[in-house]
Amino acid sequence: MSDHRQGHVILGVNVLVLGYLPAAWQSDRLRKDSFVDPAYWENIGAVAERGTLDALFLADAPLLGDPAYDANAGRLEPTVNWSHVAATTERIGLIATASSTLNDPFDLAQRLLSLDHVSGGRAGWNIVTTRNSPAAQNFGLPDIPERDDRYDRAAEFVDVVLGLWDSAATRDVVRHHGRFFDLEGRLDVPPSRQGRPVLIQAGGSAKGRALAGRRAEGVFAAELTKEGAIEHYREVKRHAADAGRSPESVKILPGLLTSIGSTEEEARRRSDDLHDRGPAAYSVQWLSQAIGYDASQLDLDEKFPKEVLTAAVDPRTAAGSIGFRQSIVAQIRRTNPTVREYLRQTRYTGSGHSGFAGTPEQLVDHIEDWYRSGAVDGFNLQPDVLVDGLEVIADEVVPLLRKRGLFRHEYATDTLRGHFQAASN
């Protein structure tokens, strides 16, 4: 990709309620009830709009988080949370995560289109299939379905939801009789200003990438290396073209964990301090759930065993994330660290999602390099601590991107789909 790439980067922020790292809640700018405090969320929305960011993402919570590796054990339902923020903001996109495995398509289509309507066309749906067995049990299922079944259901789920959203405008009854769903009806929610919510697909499996190319307008990807990101980028764009869509119609936005300081040393100290104040076993437990292997059984001072890196993963039954595992194994093969060395370096390089620890100028260098290399259309940034990390992004990173012609100076559109489309011009 050349230096003359047209358009600008897309910047979203995955808010993760209080921040990405488990010790985020210890910030002296937070209170014990910040995660349910309306004023906290109003401030997040205001800062994001001050930086003219494209969107805020919020994860769903079909089960209680594990405090051993999750900074945000409690959180509000995303569409309800974003409805409040929508009332206090005007331009920022608001993307809610919802599972196609644990929801009903009629109910979810109604909730998301309602959010899109009340926000003036700023809603998006981050489609996930959920891989946690305890979450399934919360919904009366004996276990989470196998991966292929989850993605088959997701594909049909999305088709049904799109039909229902179309019915809001046409008033035509949707008659769907498929493998997973059987319904006849239409939505009574009025169409939104952008017609319907923007679709985001999260996940790196083969079926997930194919679904993204066929239907999604954005992909929340997990990439640790630029080479892997370029491969993923080209694959999804190819799927889009094969489906008769413009490759520009689907935007690739990997997650990027950020720890930012006035010097690289300061940023690393901030990351070290947050990691050291979190649970001692955080990194090992996070790695275990990400790759579907009990990393606590590994010798910390030995290299990763070949059987861990070469293990054949059955995508139907794999417990972890296929996308996370692929990017983590690629990173380990590239640097060949001991387990302890890998866990240490992931403080700064990320694990699953890529990480960054450095200055605002270095972060802009990173964003520009990946963007101009054709690896991304933008990033979904994940501050270590949201409340101050977001301020640095809005007030220090964005102005540097503008100076390089990589980001807008002011909003040119007022819907989420408009923001995505304007980035290509």
Place of tokens 């379905």: 145
Q: How many CB atoms lie within 10 A of CB 113?
A: 25
pTM of the model: 0.90
Q: Which residues pair with 354 in a beta bridge?
A: 256, 350
Q: Per mean pLDDT, which range of 57-66, 104-113, 225-234, 394-403 is the poorest?
A: 57-66
The predicted model gives 257-279 an average pLDDT of: 94
Q: Mean pLDDT highest for which of 28-37, 209-218, 390-399? A: 390-399
Number of H helices, E strands in the chain: 16, 12
Cβ burial, residue 6 (10 Å; 0-12/13-18/19+): exposed
Residue 151 labelled as part of a binding site: yes
pLDDT at 281: 77
CB of 92 within 8 A of CB of 119? no
pLDDT band at 224 (very low <50, low <70, confident <90, very high): confident
Domain definitions of the chain by residue range: 10-264+349-423, 269-346
pLDDT tens per residue across span 347-362: 888 777 889 999 999 9
Q: Where are the alpha helices (DSSP H) in 174-263?
A: 206-215, 226-242
State the chain's mean pLDDT as an integer: 91
- Strands (E) across 138-224 are located at 174-177, 182-185, 198-202, 218-221
Give the DSSP letter of residue 52. T
Q: What one-letter code names the amino acid at 207?
A: K
Report strand pairing: 182-185 vs 174-177: antiparallel
Superfamily of the domain at 10-264+349-423: Luciferase-like domain (3.20.20.30)
User: Which burial class, exposed, middle or buried, applies to 181 when counting CB atoms under 10 A from its CB (0-12, 13-18, 19+)?
Assistant: middle
371 assigned to a ligand binding site: no
**Amino acid (one-letter) located at 145:** P
What SS3 class is residue 381?
Answer: strand
- In the three-class reduction of DSSP (H, G, I as helix; E, B as strand; rest coil), residue 255 is classed as strand
Measured CA to CA, the distance from residue 48 to residue 54 in angstroms comes to: 8
152 known member of a binding site: no
Does 151 score more than 70 pLDDT? yes
Q: Tell whether residue 413 is among the known ligand binding residues.
A: no
How far the first Cα of the chain sits from its last, in Å, is 16
